[in-house]
Structure 1
Amino acid sequence: MATLLLIEDDPLVRRGFQLALSRHGHDVRTADSGEEGLREFHSARPDLVVLDLMLPGIDGFQVCRRIRAVGDVPVIMLTAMGDDFDVVGGLAAGADDYVVKPAQPSVLDARIRAVLRRSAGHDGVRVHRDLHIDTTALTVSLHGRPVPLSPTELRLLLTLSRAPGRVFSRQLLLEEVWEHDYLGDSRLVDNCVQRLRAKIEDVPAAPEYIQTVRGFGYRFGPV
């Protein structure tokens, strides 16, 4: 269960998100201003902060900068619909993602889980649903059971999973996994992907983790 800090000055929005995210299994702390949010941040030590940008007193941009100044706790900002200035400013302040209000709690929960998955790799373990990748011990487990991988298969998985959602071309994978600095044989990549899918996908023919981007390459999901 993740501990979340929700900083939102609108009491109806704040209470609605708190109840909904609690039902999704999160421990949700709340604050109604930037000043209170910073105090709660230092006392609660949350796993992730959901931050409204338009706050009384210290605004969300300043709150985000102060959070970034002391650590790498993920921040998802809440922005007004169609306000590109808020999005650009929030990302520049250090936010990891954004959700446009009004937002369905299920959408916010999905973004929270995606950001937490991406940040999980910071301590050496990347968690993607039932797939756990220990980048320190160089081990992989699926549904709690170890998955034996060849060195090349492991290196391919580590490369793709370091940036979920990013599309890697076959040529780039050849360079990074096989260390080819020339236009190599893309079948090396395709065959290794097939072997890896057979080991980590519940249904290799309908992959969730190693996804094909037709005509270009592969990306790692879910994101």
Structure 2
Amino acid sequence: MDILLIEDNKLISKSLVYTLKSKGHAVTLCENCEQTIVHAGEEFDLIIMDVTLPDGNGFELYRDVSRVNTAPVIFLTAMDDEDHIVGGLELGAADYITKPFSTRELLARIRRFDKKATGQSTVLSVGNIYVDTESHVVRNGDTPVELTALEYRILLMLMQNAGKVVTRERIMEKIWDIAGNFVNDNTLTVYIKRIRQKLNTDCIRTVKGIGYKMEAV
């Protein structure tokens, strides 16, 4: 797995990087919010994030990272009271581990998100449209579909919520363009049109006044 580790404690980060790499994972280490924002838009399978960082709060950082990255997040923190735990999970975090913790416990938690280890498929499909979340290859049947990074993120969001209506507001809140700017209402319409044209199918249905739904045709 490609893991983004956000931890400012050098003793903890050194130990975690060694352990994760010894288990075959690739690790990118960031020690603060500033470094994290630089790498946030890169492709990761999992993000491990300390809540207390020298230049900001991990909960606030999570909001920024989740707009440009769909990887699940595990929070690491010394704050073990219920309010902090519930707050992190309500933000959308996949898991929460309080310090001190054993490397055995952390590796067990990480294994839940390792699709290869758990035998889960990395391919999402709706009708004839296939998205491989590991290789980031998109296909219509056997035909490859070339999408920009932003188009891919929009399609992935719709595929992950196949059969459900995804509001325009939710898409615009979560998706940034390459310059770090939010996608606005007008440009979202343009991107959806381009994705439909490239997929050459009507699987993205407009729900008037609300948003879009990905469904088989």
- How far apart are the structure 1 equivalents of 2:121 and 2:91? 31
- How far apart are the structure 2 equivalents of 1:131 and 1:50? 21
Q: How far off is 1:78 after superposition?
A: 0.5
- How far apart are the structure 2 equivalents of 1:136 and 1:59? 37
Residue 25 (1) aligns with residue 24 (2): yes
Partner of 1:47: 45
Unaligned runs of 5+ in 1: 118-126, 139-223
Residue 35 (1) aligns with residue 34 (2): yes
Residue 129 (1) aligns with residue 129 (2): no
* Change beyond 3 A, Cα 1:70–1:23: same
Kept after mapping to 1: 8 A contact 2:111/2:117: no
Letter in 2 for 1:112: I
Partner of 1:5: 4
What percentage of aligned pairs have identical amino acids?
34
Kept after mapping to 2: 8 A contact 1:80/1:100: yes
Structure 1, residues 103-136: CA drift from partner, whole Å, max 9, x if none? 112211221120344xxxxxxxxx6634659774
Kept after mapping to 2: 8 A contact 1:51/1:76: yes
Q: How far off is 1:81 after superposition?
A: 5.4
Structure 1, residues 13-41: CA drift from partner, whole Å, max 9, x if none? 01111101111110011011112112122
Partner of 1:91: 89
- How far apart are the structure 2 equivalents of 1:82 and 1:30? 24
Partner of 2:161: none
Structure 1, residues 75-105: CA drift from partner, whole Å, max 9, x if none? 0000225322221221122211111111112
SS in 1 for 2:53: coil
- How far apart are the structure 1 equivalents of 2:120 and 2:18? 29
Q: How does 1:61-210 map to 2 (within 5 A)?
A: 61-80=59-78, 82-117=80-115, 129-130=118-119, 136=125
RMSD over equivalenced CA pairs, Å: 2.6
- How far apart are the structure 2 equivalents of 1:11 and 1:18? 10
- How far apart are the structure 1 equivalents of 2:112 and 2:71? 14
TM value normalised by structure 1: 0.51
- How far apart are the structure 1 equivalents of 2:52 and 2:121? 37
SS in 2 for 1:45: coil
* Change beyond 3 A, Cα 1:32–1:135: closer
Aligned length: 128
Q: Which moved more, 1:76-85 or 1:47-56?
A: 76-85
* Change beyond 3 A, Cα 1:115–1:6: same
Kept after mapping to 2: 8 A contact 1:3/1:46: yes
- How far apart are the structure 1 equivalents of 2:6 and 2:54? 11
Structure showing greater Rg: 1
Letter in 2 for 1:40: H
Kept after mapping to 1: 8 A contact 2:112/2:118: no
